[in-house]
Amino acid sequence: MYGTGEQFHATLAEDLPLVARRWIVRAVAENSPLARAVQLEMRGQIRLGEWRHFTATQLIAPGEGFIWAATAKVGGLPIMGYDRFTSGSGEMRWRLGGLIPVMSARGRDVTASAAGRLAGESIFVPTAFPLARWTGDRNDVSATWTVAGREETVHLNIADDGTLRGVRMQRWGNPEGQGFGRYQFTVAVESERTFAGITIPARLRAGWDTGDASTGEFFRAEITDAHFR
């Protein structure tokens, strides 16, 4: 069905919990192609000690994988690299000037954290909603994704008119060196934008809920373009 030219109709969302249905029907225009992936262009700030400006391109395929390739500057020098989750494995690789390694990581913990990230970023491809297992009532809704054999559950904050306000989840990580485990991770959606009939977050903030906003939040982004496939 996905990526084959099939189109969205509101009847496809009839079996979803009410809150999820409100979001999907608002986010996906009637007759929009049922995309299974998106390529995003973005800019923003990321906290690497201090807040640094970045530009990035990201490919997201819910339930399958993502690649986030970015460039930031530290001391006037570019740091280039990527985070990825592909073929069931996560990795981070960053180089100063594209040559000098500054951070490389892979392994079970990196993979587990990246799987959670993929589940959370499924909000950028609302047409992939049938791939998740939805639960909820009139006031709350969650989507559980199966990612490389593991389940990741994302709770969505959706307004009465179907606007997506944010998501939260228990994501695997090691915020502020507290030790690897599952910690509350939140994304606040500040605005939305429509690309080719599909409405997605356009401005957002993300970080670990450490109880200290000055250290927990580490990512602020604006989506400047989106191409669905």
Is residue 62 in a domain? Answer: yes
Dist CA 224 CA 191 (whole Å):
12
Residue 40 lies in a domain: yes
Is 138 inside a domain boundary? yes
Tokens 């608002």, located at residue = 26
Average pLDDT over residues 168-180: 95
User: How many folded domains does the chain comprise?
Assistant: 1
Structural domain of residue 178, as residue ranges? 10-228
**pLDDT higher than 80, residue 215:** no
pTM of the model: 0.95
206 part of a folded domain: yes
pLDDT at 211 over 80: no
Asked if residue 38 lies in contact with residue 60, where contact means CB atoms within 8 angstroms, the answer is yes
Domain-located, residue 144: yes
For residues 54-81, give the mean pLDDT.
96
Q: Note the pLDDT of residue 1.
A: 45
193 part of a folded domain: yes
Q: Look up tokens 């809704």; give the residue.
A: 141
Whether residue 100 is contained in a domain is answered as yes
Q: What CATH number did the domain enclosing 185 receive?
A: 2.50.20
What are the two backbone dihedrals, phi and then psi, of residue 2, each rounded to the nearest 5 degrees?
Answer: -85, 135
CA nearest 141: which of 223, 20, 27, 25? 20
Q: How far is CA 78 from CA 52, 54, 98, in A?
A: 11, 10, 8
Has residue 3 been placed in a domain?
A: no
In this prediction, residue 90 has a pLDDT band, given cuts at 50, 70 and 90, of very high
Task: Enter the tokens of residue 58.
Answer: 């990201």
Contacts (Cβ under 8 Å, ≥6 apart) of 156: 19, 20, 23, 123, 141, 142, 143, 164, 166, 167
pLDDT bin (cut points 50, 70, 90) of residue 4 is low
β-strands 164-173, 217-228 pairing: unpaired
**Cα distance between residue 65 and residue 90, in whole Å:** 9
What's the angle, vertex CA 57, arms to CA 52 and CA 60, rounded to 5?
120
Question: Maximum CA pair distance of the chain?
Answer: 53
Q: What are phi and psi of 88, to 5 degrees?
A: 75, 15
> Could you write out the DSSP letters of every residue in 91-153?
EEEEEETTTEEEEEEESHHHHHHHHHHHHHGGGG-GGGGGGSEEEE-SS-EEEEEEETTEEEE
